[in-house]
């Protein structure tokens, strides 16, 4: 895939990739702001701003209607590291997409009514998905157990609803002005729009926007998480149907060569029904009803996580011992070429399929630009992972003292 790139004088990074056999154009605006940039006393604000970006500007009162009138679709998501907005329109309406994204980068309405409406929407989401839903607070619990000082200790939704309720229009505007501007953004374009036309439209609609006067460097977490020196445990009881266990180990940041190794390890453990955990602990030993392994995928040092819901006859100590037995296999038995190739091929095929859809290309391209990689480089990095890399990384990271264990117990047992 050929990638073009240009940085505008105001700091906006523009990247582009052609997608053949489509008449659609996808834009993704990635803002380098997420939950990691929030004040510990005012969490959930990046997610709240994601909602408010659809509430209108002094020039466009209804963003979604303009997109739909063009036959397009739009959406957004926020995580701990960044906020991503994406829009897809037919090629003939590409300029409308550029105009709309530049318009809400220029300035939002953010009046008392719109802020109050979206605060209530986000608070209701908090209550329904995280407080009332079974297992909804798992991420709150495991993050606060694994992290002591880093903002990764809370999830994107925030620590508690009161942090969102306390947001005032004035405070939210200041947060918006600090982060939602050209020098803190990446514009990725993919689909049926040539590179030359992309540059013309980007310069026409974005070049006259000013960047923030705030010092963004001061908003990046300054305290690195100290190495974890001993096992941490927490047990909670909730009104849930089955016991659950979550185990987390600290891992390096996205720029580390070990990042890909950790991702391969979790794929070996839980890449669908052929993963080791499903084969051995669900199908053969029948200790779990379901189990998964994944990495948090963060810019700063993140987590390797294994979480599973137990079979009714399994105890939590039995479940923990079974997981640790699979972890020990990774430390002492080299992965076969067949198994490693299967994981690497799966990763590469997922990336190839993602390249068919302009939205996926634009969203992934924006993230890769933030990380300082490319689609081809990502594939090369995963292809380079060896069985020895897995042994070494598993031995270094998957240790008792580097582990946090959450027992999530049903109140009926």
Distance separating alpha carbons of residues 400 and 229, to the nearest angstrom:
9
Q: In this structure, how many other beta carbons lie within 10 angstroms of the beta carbon of residue 391?
A: 17
pLDDT above 70 (res 405): yes
Task: Give pLDDT tens digits for 97-153.
Answer: 999 999 999 999 999 999 999 999 999 999 999 999 999 999 999 999 999 999 999
Cα–Cα distance, 135 to 72 (Å, whole number): 35
> Across 22-146, where does the E strand assignment appear?
24-31, 73-78, 83-90
Q: DSSP letter string over 336-365? A: PHHHHHHHHHHHHHHHHHHTTSHHHHHHHH
Does residue 52 have a pLDDT over 90? yes
Residue 14 has pLDDT above 70, yes or no: yes
Q: What phi and psi values does residue 227 have, to the nearest 5 degrees?
A: -55, 140
188-217 pLDDT, tens digit per residue, is 999 999 999 999 999 999 999 998 777 666
Positions of CATH 3.30.830.10 in the chain? 3-217, 232-410
pTM, to two decimals: 0.94
Q: Provide, rounded to the nearest whole percent, the portion of the chain with pLDDT above 70.
A: 98
pLDDT confidence tier of residue 34, bands split at 50, 70 and 90 = very high
Asked whether the beta carbons of 67 and 78 are under 8 A apart, the reply is no
Q: What is the model's pLDDT at position 98?
A: 98
Phi first, then psi: give them for residue 120, nearest 5 degrees.
-65, -35
Q: What is the pLDDT of residues 299-336, one digit of tens each?
A: 999 999 999 999 999 999 999 999 999 999 999 999 99
At 221 the pLDDT is 65
Cβ atoms of residues 292 and 300 within 8 Å: no
pLDDT band at 219 (very low <50, low <70, confident <90, very high): low
pLDDT at 220 over 70: no
For domain 232-410, give the CATH number: 3.30.830.10
Instruction: Tell me what pLDDT residue 224 has.
Output: 82
**pLDDT tens sequence across 275-304:** 999 999 999 999 999 999 999 999 999 999
Separation CA 153–CA 90 (nearest Å): 41
pLDDT the model gives residue 271 = 83
Q: Which of 24-38, 75-89, 344-358 has the lowest mean pLDDT?
A: 344-358
Average pLDDT of 77-82?
Answer: 97
Q: How many CB atoms lie within 10 A of CB 144?
A: 17
Confidence at residue 212, expressed as pLDDT on a 0 to 100 scale: 79
pLDDT value of position 222: 58
**63, two tokens:** 């963003």
Supply φ then ψ for residue 151, to 5 degrees.
Answer: -60, -10
Instruction: List, in order, residues 6 or more apart from 323 with CB less than 8 Å away.
Output: 245, 247, 277, 281, 306, 308
Looking at 147-253, list the stretches that DSSP marks H as alpha helix, in order from N- to C-terminal side.
161-165, 169-179, 195-206
Mean residue pLDDT of the chain comes to: 94
Q: Say how far apart CA 55 and CA 67 lie, in whole Å.
A: 13
Predicted pLDDT of residue 218 = 58
pLDDT of residue 349: 84
Confidence (pLDDT) at 104: 96
Q: What is the pLDDT of residue 175?
A: 96
167-200 burial by CB neighbour count: b if 16+ within 10 A, else e?
bebeebeebbebbbbbbbbbbbbbbbbebebbbe
Report the run of H or E that residue 233 belongs to, with start and end: strand 232-238
Mean pLDDT value across residues 219-235? 86
Q: With contact defined as beta carbons under 8 Å apart, do 221 and 33 qualify?
A: no
Q: Would you tell me how many other CB atoms lie within 10 Å of the CB of residue 62?
A: 12
60/109 Cα distance (integer angstroms): 9
Q: Which fold has domain 3-217?
A: Cytochrome Bc1 Complex; Chain A, domain 1 (3.30.830)
- 235-277: per-residue pLDDT in tens? 999 999 999 999 999 999 999 999 999 999 999 999 877 899 9
pLDDT number for residue 354:
74
């Amino acid at each position: 895939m050929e990638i073009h790139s240009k940085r505008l004088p105001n700091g906006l990074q523009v990247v582009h990739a052609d997608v053949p056999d489509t008449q659609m154009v996808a834009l993704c605006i990635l803002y380098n702001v997420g939950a990691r940039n929030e004040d510990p006393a005012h969490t959930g604000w990046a997610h709240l701003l994601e909602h408010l970006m659809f509430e209108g500007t002094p020039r466009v009162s209804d963003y979604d209607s303009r997109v739909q009138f063009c036959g397009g679709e739009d959406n957004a998501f926020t995580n701990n590291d960044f906020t991503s907005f994406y829009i897809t329109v037919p090629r003939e309406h590409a300029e409308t997409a550029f105009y709309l994204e530049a318009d809400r980068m220029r300035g939002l309405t953010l009046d008392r009514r719109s802020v109050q409406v979206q605060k209530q929407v986000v608070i209701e989401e908090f209550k329904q998905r995280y407080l009332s839903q079974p297992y909804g607070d798992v991420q709150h619990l495991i993050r606060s157990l694994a992290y002591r000082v880093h903002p990764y200790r809370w999830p994107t939704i925030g620590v508690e609803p009161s942090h969102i309720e306390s947001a005032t229009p004035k405070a939210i505007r200041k947060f918006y002005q600090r982060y939602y501007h050209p020098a803190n953004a990446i514009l990725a374009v993919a689909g049926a729009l040539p590179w030359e036309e992309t540059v013309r439209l980007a310069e026409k609609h974005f070049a006259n926007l000013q960047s923030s006067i705030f010092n963004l460097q001061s908003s990046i977490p300054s305290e690195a998480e100290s190495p974890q020196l001993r096992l941490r445990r927490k047990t909670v009881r909730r009104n849930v149907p089955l016991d659950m266990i979550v185990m987390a180990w600290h891992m390096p940041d996205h720029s580390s060569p070990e990042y890909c190794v950790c991702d391969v390890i979790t794929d070996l453990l839980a890449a669908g029904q052929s993963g080791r955990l499903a084969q051995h602990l669900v199908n053969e030993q029948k200790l779990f009803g379901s189990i998964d392994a994944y990495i948090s995928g963060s810019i700063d040092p993140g987590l390797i996580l294994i979480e599973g819901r137990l079979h009714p006859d399994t105890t939590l100590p039995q479940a923990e011992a079974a997981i640790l037995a699979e972890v020990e296999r990774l430390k002492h038995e080299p992965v076969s070429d067949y198994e490693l190739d299967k994981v690497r091929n799966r990763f590469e095929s997922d990336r190839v399929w993602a390249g068919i859809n302009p939205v996926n290309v634009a969203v992934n391209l924006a993230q890769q630009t933030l990380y300082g990689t490319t689609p081809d480089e990502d594939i090369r990095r995963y292809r380079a992972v060896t069985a020895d890399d897995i042994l070494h990384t598993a031995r270094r990271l998957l240790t008792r003292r580097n582990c946090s264990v959450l027992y999530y117990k049903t109140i009926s047992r």
